[in-house]
Amino acid sequence: MLQESVYAKLSISYAQSQLVKKRISDSLPDEGLVFALNITEKQFNDLEILVGENNTSILNDDERLVEL
């Protein structure tokens, strides 16, 4: 798993995306990692969002209180 924070930037052309990556490279943080990924519009259109089921069995009231 790579996600910590995800940011997206739309670029009209490959040349523009290279300029954006250069600007990011010029202001990298001292610590941490920055990944850049170019995808085409068609690849973006094939993006699938996967969502699991909502777990409603979690107790969020006094029943979960344990006294020692």
Cβ neighbors of 38 (< 8 A, separation 6 or more) are: 14, 17
How far is CA 49 from its chain centroid? 12
* Residue of 65 and 31 predicted with greater confidence: 31
**Mean pLDDT across 57-68:** 67
Is the pTM value of this prediction over 0.85?
A: no
Among left, alpha and beta (phi > 0; psi -120 to 50; other), residue 19 is alpha
All structural domains of the chain with their residue ranges = 1-44
DSSP 8-state symbol, 4: S
DSSP 8-state symbol, 41: H
pLDDT at 63 over 90: no
pLDDT reported for residue 4: 72
pLDDT reported for residue 59: 62
Token readout for 14 is 């490959």
pLDDT tens across 15-44, in order? 999 999 999 999 998 888 888 889 988 998
